[in-house]
Chain A
Amino acid sequence: MASSTGHTRNPFTEVETPAVGVKLEGLTKSFGDHVVLDNITLSVEPGEIFVLMGPSGSGKSVLLKHIVGLEAPTSGRVLVDGHDATSGETREKVRMAMVFQAGALFNSLTVYDNLALYPREHRVADEAGIKDKVMRALQILSLEDAAKKFPSELSGGMKKRVAIARALVMEPQLMMYDEPTSELDPVMSATISEIIASLKDEYHVTTLVVSHDRELALNIAERVGILMDGKLIFLGKPDELRQPKDEQVAAFLYPKIDLKHPRYKKLET
């Protein structure tokens, strides 16, 4: 159920909380001499679904870590709903959830306990209420049968869905996905893309996806950014990417497989 007020409709409590925006102001991050993010300025609007693309190693995941407060900028600022992302208080004021690339599920806990950890630790509800929330999230992602399983017993696609369900239980105002479709078959990738889009549509949660999956970006994004060598080389609507004018963008999104002149040989010379 999309909200017309720019508010996140909570899937569990039906209470509306404001969706939040994210602003990066001249974000630069270096590890030693290596500049990973170079003066990135970008804003993600409340309730928007923004996809950040780029080749492996271009700094996409590092950028997400800055938003969630796991990394501090070398220079520049990251603001989440106007609050500095490096401050621990921001995580108390804004409910942010992140779906990690490998899921980052707690291996010693069952799927149910993975989902129940956040509400238990934050005493969001009593045990019966927590059970309702967890079962609802599992139901949304068709994972009811996996509740008693451990993460090691799940397939790659199921792990991703459990990670999304765990994020959903947090009732987030900002949802971030790090490579949600990597290592998945095309059908499962499409399923995950559909889940991301429908969660955003239903609950109007601000969604930031980091991916190099072209289909995901073209089909679910409202805006797309392309990061290359730490610089933002494209920012615009997904339709602009169907026939990109920029050579770098075209080479990244629609690479030609040239068996006569393979790329790795060009790289060697």
Chain B
Amino acid sequence: MKQITIILEGFGSTLLLLVRSLSYLPSLPRQRARFIEQCYMIGYTTLPIVAILSFFIGSVLALQAGYAMQNFGAKQFIGSLVGLSMARELGPVMVAILLAGRVGSAITAELASMKVYQEIDALVTMNIPPARMLVMPRLAAVLVMVPVLAIIADLVGWFGGAIVAKYVSFISIEPEGYFSVLRRYMKFGEDVAGGLIKAEIFGFGVVLVCCNIGLNTRGGPREIGAAVTRAVVVSLILILVLDYFVTKALM
């Protein structure tokens, strides 16, 4: 019963935080320095790891597909398989998972530490709503940066697949053939855009949940660590649960 109450409280406080933060959206121009800083944190600093991981995810996808498909002579379709998988599923999910691990954990740690050391209380007494100063710029930044990260993940993943397809001896497909199949079987408006919508929803959800858990931390330094763990676990569950429902809705 207590667990159910905690989960419902979590839902309620997250929704409240969302409404409050959105109500401060008109003040975004005044918060532009914080918005740009968050764009840098969410976008620029996450970019290298997104690029490295997408490259190897695309590569291993091509490798596994090539190994399986060579038995029934379908390896020329590797391009479409890698293309669709990256754009529709792996790109958005991987970007969101990296965001939860790298950015979400940092957000929770920062806000939880501000809460524990009474910096949040100080903001409230100064009549500066934490949702306006700390949450809204992060939500706006994630909305701008996640599609960029997802597009880069798609492109690098496709490129990784193309390299494996060309240089692994039992596949040996030239990039021209790989990309021509990829283009033929992909609807960019539907597959790529659908993936970007998914990434946007996951990224927004991750940042919102991590902010809420950080702001609701109580206790001492030990609770900061516990809050970070909780934020990452809740984010991962959220991503995978939302993944099913958003994918279904976009079909």
Contact = CB atoms under 8 A, between A and B. Distances in A.
Interface residues of A, number: 21
Contact of B124 (A70, A102, A105, A117): A70
Contact of A118 (B114, B117, B121, B126): B126
Contacts of A237: none
Interface string B116-137: 0111011011111000010000
Contacts of A184: none
Nearest to A163: B122
Interface in A81-114: 91-92, 96-98, 100-102, 104-107
A121 interface: yes
Contacts of B121: 65, 70, 98, 100, 104
A220 B65 CA distance: 80
B125 A97 contact: yes
A69 interface: yes
Given A102-B117, A102-B118, A118 B124 contact: no
B122 A100 contact: yes
Contacts of A261: none
Contact of B119 (A69, A97, A106, A122): A106
A121 B126 contact: yes
A68 interface: yes
Nearest to A90: B127
B119 A91 contact: no
Interface residues of B, number: 12
Interface string A53-71: 0000000000001001110
A170 interface: yes
Contacts of B133: 121
B118 A100 contact: yes
Interface string B18-40: 00000000000000000000000
Contacts of B122: 98, 100, 104-106
B117 A91 contact: no
Contacts of A170: 126
A53 to B, nearest CB: 21
B126 A117 contact: yes
B128 A69 contact: no
Nearest to B118: A104
Contacts of B125: 68-70, 91, 96-98
Nearest to B133: A121
A104 B119 contact: yes
Contacts of B114: 106
A91 B118 contact: no
A101 B122 CA distance: 11
A102 B221 CA distance: 14
Nearest to B31: A121
A231 B121 CA distance: 25
Nearest to B127: A91
Contacts of B128: 117-118, 121-122
Contacts of A122: 127-128
Contacts of B124: 68-70, 91
Nearest to B110: A108
Interface string B92-125: 0000000000000000000000100111011011
A100 B118 CA distance: 8
A180 B132 CA distance: 29
Contacts of A102: 117-118
Contacts of A65: 121
Contacts of A106: 114, 119, 122
A104 B128 CA distance: 14
A107 B124 CA distance: 16
28 contacts: A65-B121, A68-B124, A68-B125, A69-B124, A70-B121, A70-B124, A70-B125, A91-B124, A96-B125, A98-B122, A98-B125, A100-B118, A100-B121, A100-B122, A102-B117, A102-B118, A104-B119, A104-B121, A104-B122, A106-B114, A106-B119, A107-B117, A117-B126, A118-B126, A118-B128, A121-B128, A121-B133, A122-B128
Interface of B: 114, 117-119, 121-122, 124-128, 133
Query: Which 10 pairs of residues, A with B, have the shortest CB-CB distance?
Result: A104-B118, A104-B122, A91-B127, A98-B125, A121-B128, A68-B125, A100-B118, A118-B126, A104-B119, A70-B121
Given A91-B125, A102-B117, A118-B126, 14 more contacts: A65-B121, A70-B124, A92-B127, A98-B121, A100-B122, A102-B118, A104-B119, A104-B121, A104-B122, A106-B114, A107-B119, A117-B126, A121-B126, A121-B133
